[in-house]
Amino acid sequence: MKYFCNPININYRYQFNADPRKQRMQICREAADPSMICFQGRYYIFASMTLSVWVSEDMVQWESCRLPENLPLYDYAPDVRVIGEYVYFSASKRGENCSFYRTKDILNGPYEEITGSFDFWDPNLFCDDDGRVYFYWGCSNATPLWGVELNPETMLPIGERKALINGDAWSKGYERVGEDHCRYPKSEKEVDAALEGFLKMQGPETGEKIPEEYIPLIRGMLSDKPYIEGAWMDKYQGKYYLQYACSGTQYNIYSDGVYIGDSPLGSFTLADNNPYSYKPGGFLPGAGHGSTMWDRQDNLWHASTMRISKNHDFERRVGIWPAGFDVDGELFCNQRYGDWPMEVEDCKMDPWKEPRWYLLSFGRPAVASSSEKGKEPEKAIDENVQTWWRAAAADSGEWIQVDLEKEYTVNAVQINFADDGIAIPAPGEIRGTTQARYIEERDHVTRWKLEGSLDGENYFMVQDKSEAATDLSHDLIVREEGIQVRFLKLTIIEIPYGQQPCISGFRVFGIGDGEKPKVPKFEAVRENDLDMIVKITEGDAVGYNILWGSDPEKLYHSYMIFGKEQRVGALVKGTGYYVRVDAFNENGITEGNTVRLFSK
């Protein structure tokens, strides 16, 4: 069996961001907006700001391969679709016509340029069964998603573009911005005041340097209106599924919604199951702006963007999850345990299969060779990607250790490195695209060794990567047969730029030999049209998964929590819901009881 654990285990390239909103260079790793395709029996992911395409034979092991320089690799949201014997590529740019590119050989090219006739952002190409080609684009909180038919030879529009869908944060709770959808759109007067404050905060020199054409974009950013973006079209059993992203990539609630229509250019109706891709909880949240793909075994997968957003708003990663269509044609995506190890089988899979291994490390005692105040070792085992342990020095040999408090069968360890205020000059030329930056071209290494112990005194090697030639910041170690261990010690040998080591997630998975948690008791109350409050009133679990949906047999939405109370702000006005709370610990998962959601 093969396993992966989100985010995808690949080398995420460093970005040196010259963001006009900030006073200094912001440095972080980034990959986002994945277009995932199957072409000639192999899997490919094209993601923003990677300079590369990721290639896999099995959806588990991914290799990063550089793309040719004639592609617009500094432009966001690359769209890639297979049409006949070609793969078509395009990417985003404002104020300048965007070209299309096509090739019969993704890795070796050549990529033939087809000159574009208009500019676009967040593109998506779709070829219908009859060979007609359609194009979708848009990324704004002021304008809709657009669609138009294209001539398949010239890629020129046939007819006028058509407005397809708009955002509405007053009726769709999941389109509100902020952590857990905490903000409604501002009035125009409030936006004026916010813009004035923003420009003052930049200082007179910086404020005057902001290009005039950026002001509407900044107003949009400050308005708290939902960004409707990231279109992706699929067809299933004669219906057209227009997928879109909302509402802010820097928030835990970044998600993908879907509309359904009878023709490629609509009209479209909001699907019952929305948002269909939604992962606000767990270690690494976010599941917006993505793509769906059928694999060789006829399994449907969804790839999307996951957020860290500590060193920069666009500090992001890529995740993939099992998806599908139910008997009523509703598109769904299973993200209940979406950042735990998942099995990939070489056959038709059950998209709702539960995890084989459970989280063992949450809240366990941790010690380290050294640490900074506020970034102690326990920050590495709190299931929060936005906090981390940071060593007090950048010396090789700094270490962190977790104590599972008893002997367990351990089957997987995920080691998540963080970055913390890197302050070095850009090693290359800043390029003046929509968001000026330099993408690191050099290949770095991340080296460490992982040891285990039963008594904290005698150690054995679990994995030695002290001479690795890879740079994997979210590495996964799998021992399918399991190892018996209580203590796990990670020693960092070398990381990029000689930083002080930072670990945001020292995550251990396996199987305990005790009892599963009891069935949790809970209260779920609809506070208003868009929000519900869920309180666990009685439970003994490590954590809980809040599940909800418009049908008791279709609890497709989920929110993993480690506390006892959570506001869920993703409801749709006029839709009735059912709620269930499942409980989990190191021994397994206990399914809760389903109740109908009532208003208070």
> Residues 359-369: pLDDT tens digits?
999 999 999 99
289 assigned to some structural domain: yes
As a whole number of angstroms, the distance between CA 260 and CA 279 comes to 22
* 546 plus 528 within the same structural domain: yes
* 112 plus 170 within the same structural domain: yes
> pLDDT (tens digit, 9 = 90+) per residue, 275-303?
999 999 999 999 999 999 999 999 999 99
* 525 plus 507 within the same structural domain: no
Q: For residue 327, give the CATH number of its domain.
A: 2.115.10.20
Q: For residue 534, give the CATH number of its domain.
A: 2.60.40.10
* 455 plus 565 within the same structural domain: no
Cβ-proximal residues to 143 (8 Å cutoff; 6+ apart), any chain:
none
**Phi, psi at residue 327, to the nearest 5°?**
-65, -20
* 278 plus 375 within the same structural domain: no
Question: Predicted confidence band at 20 (pLDDT cuts at 50, 70, 90)?
Answer: low
Mean pLDDT of the chain: 96
Q: What is the pLDDT of residue 433?
A: 63
**What DSSP assignment string belongs to 266-290?**
--EEE-SS-SSB---SSSS---EEE
Q: Which residue, 321, 344, 367, sits at the end of a domain?
A: 344
Residue 59, token pair as written in the block = 């959806």
As a whole number of angstroms, the distance between CA 96 and CA 205 comes to 28
Q: Which residue, 511, 541, 576, sits at the end of a domain?
A: 511
Q: What is the pLDDT of residue 221?
A: 83
CA nearest neighbour of 557 among 256, 166, 205, 239: 256
**Phi, psi at residue 210, to the nearest 5°?**
-70, 120
447 assigned to some structural domain: yes
pLDDT of 530 strictly over 60: yes
Measured in residues, the chain has a length of: 600
Q: What is the pLDDT of residue 24?
A: 79
Q: What is the pLDDT of residue 206?
A: 55
* 151 plus 36 within the same structural domain: yes
> pLDDT (tens digit, 9 = 90+) per residue, 57-72?
999 999 999 999 999 9
Domain that holds residue 428: 358-511
* 340 plus 363 within the same structural domain: no
pLDDT of 426 strictly over 70: yes
77 assigned to some structural domain: yes
Q: What is the pLDDT of residue 220?
A: 85
CA nearest neighbour of 389 among 366, 412, 357: 366
Instruction: Give, in order, the Cα–Cα distances in Å from 563 to each of 59, 522, 540, 559.
Output: 33, 12, 11, 12
Instruction: Give, in order, the Cα–Cα distances in Å from 413 to each of 337, 381, 475, 504.
Output: 15, 12, 8, 13
Q: Where are the alpha helices (DSSP H) in 290-403?
A: none
Q: What is the pLDDT of residue 490?
A: 99
* 295 plus 313 within the same structural domain: yes
Q: How many percent of the chain have pLDDT more than 90?
A: 91
As a whole number of angstroms, the distance between CA 461 and CA 453 comes to 9
* 506 plus 528 within the same structural domain: no
Write down the pTM of the prediction. Answer: 0.96
What average pLDDT does the segment 383-411 reach?
98
What are 113-118's contacts with CB under 8 Å, separation 24+?
Answer: 113/70, 114/154, 114/155, 116/90, 116/155, 117/155, 117/156, 117/157, 118/157
Residue 252, token pair as written in the block = 């835990």
CA nearest neighbour of 320 among 348, 291, 359, 345: 291
* 113 plus 245 within the same structural domain: yes
How many structural domains compose the chain?
3
Cβ-proximal residues to 201 (8 Å cutoff; 6+ apart), any chain:
none
Question: Predicted confidence band at 201 (pLDDT cuts at 50, 70, 90)?
Answer: confident
What average pLDDT does the segment 485-491 reach?
98
Q: How many percent of the chain have pLDDT more than 70?
A: 98
* 411 plus 430 within the same structural domain: yes
As a whole number of angstroms, the distance between CA 562 and CA 334 comes to 19
433 assigned to some structural domain: yes
> pLDDT (tens digit, 9 = 90+) per residue, 146-199?
999 999 999 999 999 999 999 999 999 999 999 999 999 999 999 999 898 888
Q: What is the pLDDT of residue 449?
A: 98
* 149 plus 272 within the same structural domain: yes
Answer yes or no: are the C-beta atoms of 359 and 282 closer than 8 Å.
Answer: no
Residue 435, token pair as written in the block = 């968001």
Q: For residue 492, give the CATH number of its domain.
A: 2.60.120.260
Q: Which residue, 511, 541, 572, sits at the end of a domain?
A: 511
70 assigned to some structural domain: yes
Question: Predicted confidence band at 218 (pLDDT cuts at 50, 70, 90)?
Answer: confident
Q: What is the pLDDT of residue 172?
A: 98
As a whole number of angstroms, the distance between CA 554 and CA 577 comes to 10
Residue 204, token pair as written in the block = 């007179």
Task: Measure CA of the first residue to CA of the last residue in the chain; give whole Å.
Answer: 48
